C-alpha cells in the first residue's frame, strides 16, 4: 500500500460534541420491567436495569455515533449471587447464631453488629469504585470501551477516610475530600488507551461551601428559636386571655401551625440551598478534568439542578417508583446536554483498552441498595 493510502486512513483531530437523541421505547421497557420484576419476586431487576441502560446509553451521541451498553443481566445477577453467598448469608448466619445463643442484648452480638456496620462503611467506597468500573467497562463508543485501571482498595480507604473527616469537621472537610476522591477515580479512568486527568485544588469551592454552611446553620437556629418561642408563649397567652380561653386556644393553635409550616419550608429550602454548592462543584470538577489533554466544561446551574431534582422527585412519588427509568434518563440527559469538551482529539489514534474485563457486576452496590444508574 502506498503512503497516501495509509495517510487517508487517519483523519485530522476532531472537536467532540455531545448530544442527547431521544429514542422511543422507554415506556415499553418501563412497563415490561415492572411487570416481570413483580412476577419474578424482584429477580428480574438485574435484566430490567440492563435494558434501561442499553436504551439510555444509545441515546447519548458523541459526534453522531451513539454510546453502547454491552453489560448483561446475567453479569449483574452473578455479582448479586457472589455478594449474597460470600457476605450477606455468612453475616446473617453468624449474627443469627450469636443472637440465639447469647440473647439479643449480649455484648458479643452488639460487637459483631458494630463490626458489620464498620465493614459496610469501609466497603462502601469499594462498591462505588467497582460499580463505576463495571459500567465503564461495559460502555463502548466506536467499538472502544472504558475502564478504571487502579486498585479499588485505595479509593475504598480514601472514601472511608473522607466519611470520617467530613463527620469530625462538621462538614468542613467536604470540598477537600470530594476533590481528593474525584481526583483518585478520574485519574484511574481510561477510554481505550486514552486517559482522563484531574488536576485542581479545593480552594475555589470554599466560598460557596461556607455560604451554604452558614445559611444552613442560621436556618437551624431560626427554626429552633421560633419553635421554642411559640411553645413557651402559649401559656403566656392563656394567662393574658385568662377570661377568654377560646381566644388563647386559637392563638396557640395558629402558632403551632405556623411552626409546622416553617419546619416544612425549612425542609424544602435547605436542599435547595445546597443545590448552589452541588452546581458549583459539578462545574469546578468538570473544569479540572481533561480527556486526552482537552478540558471539559459543564454548564450546571443552581436553578437547573433544583428543577431536575424536583421533577425527578415528583416522578418518583407519582409513579410509586415505577418510573425510575425516566429519572435515570433525565439525569443522563441533563449532564450530556450541558457537557462540552473544548479542544480537538485524534480519535482515530485511540485503540482498544488492554485492561481485562471484569466478569461480574456491582454485586455490592446492589446489596447496599445504592441503586442509581
- Three-class DSSP category at 126: helix
Residue 195 CA, chain-centre distance (Å), reads 23
Pairing of β 144-148 and β 189-191: antiparallel
10: left (phi over 0), alpha (psi -120 to 50) or beta: beta
Give least dist CB 302 to other proteins, A.
35
**Of 88 and 317, which CB lies nearer to other proteins in the complex structure?**
88
Nearer to other proteins, 250 or 352 (CB): 352
Nearer to other proteins, 307 or 371 (CB): 371
Could you tell me the smallest distance in angstroms from the CB atom of residue 342 to other proteins? 20
Q: Which is nearer to other proteins, 17 or 351 (CB)?
A: 351
Residue 317 burial (10 A CB sphere; 0-12, 13-18, 19+):
exposed
Cβ closer to other proteins: 124 or 141? 141
| Shortest Å, Cβ 2 to other proteins | 11
Rounded Cα distance, 282 and 242, in Å: 58
Q: How far is the CB of 236 from other proteins (least distance, A)?
A: 42
Instruction: State how far the Cα of 34 lies from the Cα of 31, in Å rounded to an integer.
Output: 5
Question: What is the distance between the alpha carbons of residues 300 and 331, in angstroms, rounded to a whole number?
Answer: 12
| CA distance linking residue 116 with residue 127, whole number of Å | 15
| Least gap, CB of 230 to other proteins (angstroms) | 38
Which residues sit at the interface with other proteins, rule CB under 8 A? Answer: 5, 8-10, 21, 23-25, 28, 32, 36, 39-41, 43-44, 47, 54-55, 58, 65-66, 68, 84, 88-89, 91-93, 95-97, 99-104, 109, 113, 116, 141-144, 192, 347-352, 367, 369
Distance of alpha carbon 74 from alpha carbon 80, whole angstroms: 10
CA proximity to 364, closest of 137, 154, 37, 131: 131
Helix (H) / strand (E) containing 62 = strand 60-62
Alpha-carbon distance 89 to 96, whole Å? 10
Rounded Cα distance, 64 and 66, in Å? 6
Nearer to other proteins, 122 or 259 (CB): 122
User: Shortest gap between Cβ of 75 and other proteins (angstroms)?
Assistant: 15
In angstroms, what is the minimal distance from the CB of 297 to other proteins?
22
Nearer to other proteins, 80 or 296 (CB): 80
Amino acid at each position: 500500500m502506498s503512503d497516501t493510502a495509509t495517510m487517508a486512513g487517519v483523519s485530522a483531530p476532531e472537536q467532540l460534541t455531545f448530544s442527547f437523541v431521544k429514542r422511543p421505547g422507554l415506556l415499553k421497557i418501563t412497563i415490561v420491567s415492572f411487570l416481570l420484576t413483580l412476577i419474578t419476586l424482584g429477580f428480574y431487576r438485574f435484566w430490567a436495569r440492563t435494558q434501561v441502560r442499553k436504551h439510555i446509553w444509545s441515546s447519548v451521541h458523541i459526534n453522531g455515533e451513539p454510546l453502547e451498553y454491552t453489560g448483561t443481566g446475567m453479569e449483574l445477577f452473578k455479582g448479586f449471587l457472589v455478594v449474597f453467598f460470600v457476605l450477606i448469608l455468612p453475616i446473617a448466619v453468624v449474627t443469627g447464631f450469636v443472637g440465639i445463643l447469647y440473647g439479643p442484648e449480649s455484648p458479643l452480638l452488639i460487637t459483631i453488629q458494630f463490626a458489620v456496620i464498620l465493614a459496610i462503611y469501609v466497603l462502601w467506597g469499594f462498591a462505588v469504585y467497582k460499580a463505576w468500573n463495571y459500567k465503564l467497562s461495559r460502555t463502548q463508543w466506536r467499538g472502544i470501551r472504558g475502564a478504571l485501571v487502579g486498585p479499588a482498595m485505595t479509593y475504598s480507604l480514601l472514601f472511608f477516610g473522607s466519611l470520617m473527616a467530613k463527620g469530625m469537621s462538621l462538614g468542613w472537610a467536604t470540598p477537600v475530600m470530594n476533590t481528593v476522591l474525584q481526583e483518585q477515580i478520574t485519574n484511574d479512568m481510561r477510554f481505550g488507551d486514552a486517559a482522563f486527568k484531574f488536576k485542581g485544588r479545593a480552594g475555589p469551592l470554599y466560598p460557596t461551601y461556607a455560604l451554604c454552611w452558614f445559611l444552613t446553620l442560621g436556618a437551624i437556629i431560626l427554626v429552633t428559636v421560633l419553635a421554642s418561642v411559640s411553645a413557651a408563649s402559649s401559656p403566656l397567652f392563656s394567662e393574658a386571655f385568662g377570661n377568654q380561653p377560646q381566644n388563647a386556644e386559637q392563638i396557640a393553635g395558629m402558632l403551632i401551625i405556623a411552626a409546622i409550616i416553617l419546619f416544612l419550608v425549612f425542609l424544602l429550602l435547605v436542599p435547595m440551598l445546597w443545590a448552589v454548592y452541588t452546581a458549583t462543584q459539578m462545574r469546578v470538577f468538570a473544569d479540572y478534568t481533561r480527556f486526552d489533554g482537552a478540558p471539559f466544561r459543564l454548564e450546571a446551574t443552581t436553578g437547573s439542578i433544583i428543577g431536575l431534582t424536583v421533577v425527578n422527585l415528583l416522578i418518583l412519588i407519582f409513579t410509586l417508583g415505577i418510573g425510575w427509568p425516566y429519572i435515570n434518563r433525565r439525569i443522563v440527559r441533563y449532564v450530556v446536554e450541558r457537557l462540552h469538551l473544548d479542544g480537538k482529539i485524534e480519535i482515530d489514534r485511540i485503540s482498544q483498552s488492554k485492561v481485562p474485563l471484569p466478569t461480574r457486576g456491582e454485586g455490592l452496590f446492589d446489596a447496599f441498595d445504592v441503586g442509581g444508574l
